[in-house]
Amino acid sequence: MTSFDEADTEETVTCLHMTFYHPCQEDKMMFRCLNFCKREQVRADEMAKFGRDPNACRYNLVDTRVSRVQFSVQFYRKLNSSEHCFEIKNLSKKTKLLVGQTELSYLNKIDLPWKCIICFGDYQILAEIQEGESMDYFETHLHLSDKPILQERCLPSLQPIAENGIPSSFFSSQEKSPIEIDENESC
């Protein structure tokens, strides 16, 4: 046997990717305490807390409108399964947390979908889970977006298109839009 055959297989690690956006992020620098673009290990038995209080939260948001502890993310394994998941809990008494289409009030919690947008106040966070096998810890990987996350993910509004393939908005108010005429009618 070669040393390659005897080597332990490397265990993959579950990673929670979070992309942050706030419309005033350049002026107020509320993300200045977050460590972007570097993976950070979190023990499986720890709760990853996000909020204003640097003593209570692992991920500090420097903004007086953010609660002392805004929300937490907890890593867990489903019962009788090898599947790893995260649950997200709103820890703010004043601000509701929107996770995908679900609104969470104080102390409400749900499973974090594998990909979703988390919103509170003007904050937008895209959360994406990369599956792994490790049960001892998980990783977080934080990113900063210079564009609104909700805007990037929304589909453009669809406008009706005439049979000639030209959208009705193409015609100015002074021009007449095409009129549909039945083929059996003569001009």
Instruction: Give the model's pLDDT for residue 155.
Output: 38
Tokens for 140? 């977080």
Task: Report the distance separating Cα 172 and Cα 21, nearest Å.
Answer: 37
CA distance 16 to 52: 20
Question: At residue 157, does pLDDT exceed 70?
Answer: no
**What's the confidence (pLDDT) of residue 34?**
96
**Residue 158 predicted with pLDDT over 60:** no
- Residue predicted with more confidence, 125 or 11: 125
Q: Which CATH class is domain 11-152?
A: mainly beta
* Cβ proximity of 84 and 137 under 8 Å: no
32-49 confidence digits (pLDDT tens): 999 998 999 999 999 999
- Name the strand (E) or helix (H) holding 21: strand 15-21
CA gap 162, 62 in Å, rounded: 51
CA distance 180 to 187: 12
pLDDT of residue 82: 81
Output the six-digit token pair for 32. 């200045």
What would the pLDDT profile of 72-101 be if each residue is shown by its tens digit?
999 998 888 888 899 999 999 999 999 999
Give the predicted TM-score (pTM) of the model.
0.75
Top-confidence residue, 116 or 173: 116
| Residues 12-31 pLDDT 10s | 999 999 999 999 999 999 99
| CA dist 166 → 8, 80, 107, 162 (Å) | 62, 57, 51, 6
Burial class, 134, CB count within 10 angstroms (exposed 0-12 / middle 13-18 / buried 19+): middle
Q: What are phi and psi of 55, to 5 degrees?
A: -80, -25
Burial of 104 (0-12, 13-18, 19+ CB in 10 A): buried
Closest CA to 118 of 138, 92, 136, 139: 92
Q: In the structure, what pLDDT confidence band is assigned to residue 177 with cuts at 50, 70 and 90?
A: very low
Measuring CA to CA, which residue among 132, 151, 139 is closest to residue 35? 139
Residue 78: per-residue pLDDT: 86
Work out the average pLDDT over 129-140: 92
Instruction: Give the pLDDT confidence of 101-112 residue by residue, as tens digits.
Output: 999 999 999 999
- Each residue of 59-70: pLDDT tens digit? 999 999 999 999
